[in-house]
Amino acid sequence: MLNCDTLIQLPNNEKYNILIVEDTEFINNSILKTLARFHYSCEQVFTVAEAIDKVKSKEYDFILLDLNLPDGSGLKLLDKKKHLSKAKIIILTAETDVEQRETLFKNGILDYIVKDKYFNNGVAEINGTIKDLELNKNSSILVIDDSNFIQAHINKILKVRNYNVIPALSAEIGLEKLDSHDINMIILDMELPGIQGLELLRRIRKNRLFCRIPVIILSGTSTPVLIRDSLKAGASDFIQKPFNVEELILKVEIVIHADRQSKAILCKQQVLNDYKDAVDRSSIVSKTNTKGIITFVNDKFCGISGYTREELVGQNHNMVRHPDMPSSIFEEIWKTIQDKKPWFGKIKNKKRDGGYYYVETVINPIVDYDGNIVEYIGIRTDITELENIKAELEKNLNISNKNFSEAYKISQEYQRAIEESNILSRTDTEGKITYVNDKFCEISGYSKEELLGNYHSLIRHPDNSNEIYANLWDTISSGKVWHGQIRNRARGGSTYYVESTIVPIFDDKENITEYLAIRHDVTEIVTLHQEMENTQKEIIHKMGEVGESRSKETGFHVRRVAEYSRILALLAGLSTEKAELLYSASPMHDIGKVAIPDSILKKPGKLNDDEWIVMRSHAKIGYNILKESQRPILKAAAMVSYSHHEKWDGSGYPNAIFGEKIHIYGRITAIADVFDALGSDRCYKKAWDDERIFNLFEEEKGKHFDPKLVHLFLDNRDEFIAIRDKYKDVT
């Protein structure tokens, strides 16, 4: 069962106490400076004796311990175990003694940092290690092994990293533990009494409750057949006994990290569904195809119209059209939304029983990644009561003088009703505010004294375009009513959104005397839509990170590829909308790698022909994963995954297409991906220098890559280098 509560908020770094034990003053100060950037509470000592005095008088969470100190080996400090019950030890040394390193890990150190040219990077990585330790408290690892010695050994190693280790000495006990505990990963011995490890693995994969739990195999033998059978049965990785402690730690961390990211994605999806449900509960929603035929209505639509869902779906929206509504309104709606613009306005509809209702309506066209409209979504708010009040107000004020006092009383009541339910303001013909009600003051944060005599520019949001206000003033100054949604900024700097109707008020000579603005607060709905959009993009990015993490590439790789792709798309003349769509979709370019075995994906050497065939299949796998989605971002991601390994001269894969037959998104992402890969360290190569990288693009122009795109890329290389420098990998 998915438990999103375990995705915890990490604590403030200041709660951690760190002791730095290092005799070289320059190195000691350098470590202090690096950790201070992350706001840790650090103390410095330079000898073993000073360190022993410190741990006797105070508890530390972490100790960075140099092995070679002027008054003896740093290992002397490890003898003070009664004072180090809480502290986790990170060794600092210039030595590379493999046996000593393995012994220290067996004895429970947290990490081992060698003082070489990568030392500063190793110190900077401590921050990430500490964050992971906090998250590990919510991760439970089931160890199924019949050896008490192995159980104790693994428990000691993993407890240092804050994992909850649950032992099981047989397959039967392991199945019981799976039923009674929330397990995040399994370490499974192949040689078990009774049910063998491989058979147990197959049973776990067939059980829908446990089938997604990652499993690392432990085995005293590692024949190719056994490794193949284990991976085919669903194992995440394979480790031979006797195992290297660092290898076990690294593989556990990789698997747990991938599992954590997968759960984060599922939780985001759950949140997205909650947002959709919230919209369904709070608004009147319908969807139509491009011909205006209803494909979906929610319960509120059925409730207000009086029709059942079966009566509505498959019909044209004309069935709720009220005869009072002029045809010109619907002509305007279709012209607007077919131009791929949202339409805002008020509509009077007819109920099934012949009655009527009014709705404030927003109709949004939904387009695919090629810019084609695929459907329309209408979101409405019931304003029938308000419209009835306005109609009664107009009717009851148009009466004889003998009933004037009664009419005046009624008008006051109507005014009070409008005041209580709307955000109101009035301005003179120059736009200077002459009146605001309490609700205006409440939402804007300004007092009446601050607003009266001022202009609405006081609450104007700086991100709004001048065109909005130019259109607004052109409309109302010509005597017409303006409808629209406006983003404003409150006194404290917060943003709020209002659905506004601005009405010109005329005197008896038809001259405009003032303007009345009636608003509804729609901040919650707008924020909800923005959150849904951002959540979807974050899910896409996280899924891209999951694909990359399997090959030990960082989340910064997908971030850089996304940034490069957006810039190159804009340079190539794509619209801002298409460039942003590519930015959101490109992180998924290698999502198909989730299906490639680790033995191939992480192989440090050159792949053989059979392995290369498997590796190349990731492009089509990614496409098959995503192609059925109707979401524009996922459809774009499918095309990127499918085409970013095609080459301009037709020698690429999976379809060997050439030239402009390759989708522009694939041609752009190909350049972004290769540029980033060449400039980054990988398990099979070191990063190239810039001159060598740009020479390759010159050589491959018109062969591997679109020559026009390469020309744009090389002419603007400084922009791409700036992005690479901004999002450097932490190594």
Query: If we measure between CA atoms, which residue out of 43, 48, 50, 49 comes closest to residue 28?
Result: 43
Cα 464–chain centre separation: 26
Could you tell me the two tokens for 524? Answer: 């919650």
- Report whether pLDDT(122) > 60: yes
Q: What is the mean pLDDT of residues 481-497?
A: 90
pLDDT band of residue 691 (cuts 50, 70, 90) is very high
Q: What is the mean pLDDT of residues 206-220?
A: 91
- Report whether pLDDT(433) > 90: yes
pLDDT band of residue 400 (cuts 50, 70, 90) is very low
Q: How far apart are the first and last CA of the chain?
A: 35
pLDDT at 229: 92
pLDDT tens, position by position, 444-473? 999 999 999 999 989 999 888 888 888 999
- Report whether pLDDT(361) > 60: yes
- Report whether pLDDT(7) > 50: no
pLDDT band of residue 391 (cuts 50, 70, 90) is confident
Question: How would you classify residue 353: left for phi > 0, otherwise alpha for psi between -120 and 50, otherwise beta?
Answer: alpha
DSSP class per residue in 468-482 = HHHHHHHHHHTT--E
State the amino acid at position 6 in one-letter form.
T
pLDDT at 287: 92
Query: If we measure between CA atoms, which residue out of 122, 35, 109, 27 comes closest to residue 75?
Result: 109
State the amino acid at position 359 in one-letter form.
V
pLDDT tens, position by position, 549-588? 444 444 478 889 999 999 999 999 999 989 999 998 888 8
State the amino acid at position 342 in one-letter form.
P
pLDDT band of residue 401 (cuts 50, 70, 90) is very low
Output the average pLDDT for the chain.
86
> Which residues, 6 or more positions from 574, have their beta carbon under 8 angstroms from its beta carbon?
582, 664
- Report whether pLDDT(397) > 70: no
pLDDT tens, position by position, 512-531? 999 988 888 888 877 766 66
> Which residues, 6 or more positions from 648, have their beta carbon under 8 angstroms from its beta carbon?
658, 659, 662, 667, 702, 703, 704, 705, 706, 707
**Tokens 């999806």 belong to residue:** 269
- Report whether pLDDT(602) > 90: no
pLDDT at 551: 45
pLDDT tens, position by position, 333-351? 999 999 999 999 999 999 9
State the amino acid at position 55 in one-letter form.
V
- Report whether pLDDT(11) > 60: no
Query: If we measure between CA atoms, which residue out of 635, 589, 582, 587 comes closest to residue 374?
Result: 635
pLDDT at 121: 87
pLDDT band of residue 108 (cuts 50, 70, 90) is confident
pLDDT at 304: 94
pLDDT at 262: 81
Name the more confident of 219 and 731: 219
Cα 686–chain centre separation: 30
Instruction: Name the least confident of 359-368, 453-462, 476-485, 524-533.
Output: 524-533
**Tokens 């669903």 belong to residue:** 234
Asked whether the beta carbons of 381 and 406 are under 8 A apart, the reply is: no
Instruction: Name the least confident of 266-270, 313-317, 432-436, 654-658.
Output: 266-270
- Helical segments of 17-97, H only: 25-36, 48-57
pTM of the full structure: 0.46
Name the more confident of 512 and 544: 512
pLDDT tens, position by position, 300-345? 999 999 999 999 999 998 899 999 999 999 999 999 999 999 999 9
Name the more confident of 4 and 453: 453
The CA distance from 409 to 40, in Å, is 68
Q: What is the mean pLDDT of residues 274-278?
A: 68
Render the burial of 304-339: b for 16+ CB within 10 Å, e for the rest.
bbebeeeebeeeebeebbeeeeeeeeeeebeebbee
pLDDT tens, position by position, 14-71? 678 999 999 999 999 999 998 888 888 899 999 999 999 998 888 899 999 998 899 8
